[in-house]
Each structure stands twice: as structure tokens, then as C-alpha cells.
Amino acid sequence: MSSKCQPEYTSVEAFVEYIRDDERPYTIAEVEELAFWTRKTPLALNRILKAAGLVPQGQGHEQRVRTVNDNPNDRWQACPSHGGGGGSSLEGFAGRAG
């Protein structure tokens, strides 16, 4: 957050005009900045901005495609009770000799 309010964040109407002039989607960071200065919730502002015809910028997400050469057990690596990518789930417990 900037310590001084920029003109485009003084009101919702000013922000709508600012985004329309730039002809681009608005970001989550801009909505949070607008929420701070207008004392409204980001959820309420998103509804208002969408009703005004503005489009939010999509959030990218990491996508991992599994291939033929991938280890089929790698999704269980973080869970020790599922045995992981090899070995026995009883290794080191009652299944150990001695």
C-alpha cells in the first residue's frame, strides 16, 4: 500500500474510469488497494466492478502433466503411512527381524 492515496483509488467510479481508459483487466492487488482506501471489502468491490462491466485478471496456476515416465507413487511421497515410492510400509516397525 502506498502511504498516499493515488487519484484512481479515491472512489470506485474513479477506479472504473481508470481501468476503462487503460483497456485492461484489473488485478487482485488493485482491488485490495481500492478496498483499503474506500473502506469496502474486496468481495463487495469485485461484485461492483464486475457489474460495471470490468473483467478481473485471471490467476495462473501451476499445472503438472503426468507422463509415461513419471513415478506412479510420487503423489504419496509426503505421506509416510502410504509407503512412498518403494520399500515396505512396515519397514522399521514390526516387520523388522530382531
For the chain, what's the residue count? 98
Radius of gyration of the chain (CA): 25
Measuring CA to CA, which residue among 43, 48, 44 is closest to residue 15?
48
| DSSP reduced 3-state for 35 | helix
pTM for the full predicted model: 0.57
Q: What are phi and psi of 26, to 5 degrees?
A: -90, 155
C-alpha cell at 57: 485478471
pLDDT tens, residue by residue, 41-94: 999 999 999 999 999 988 767 777 777 776 666 555 555 555 545 555 555 555
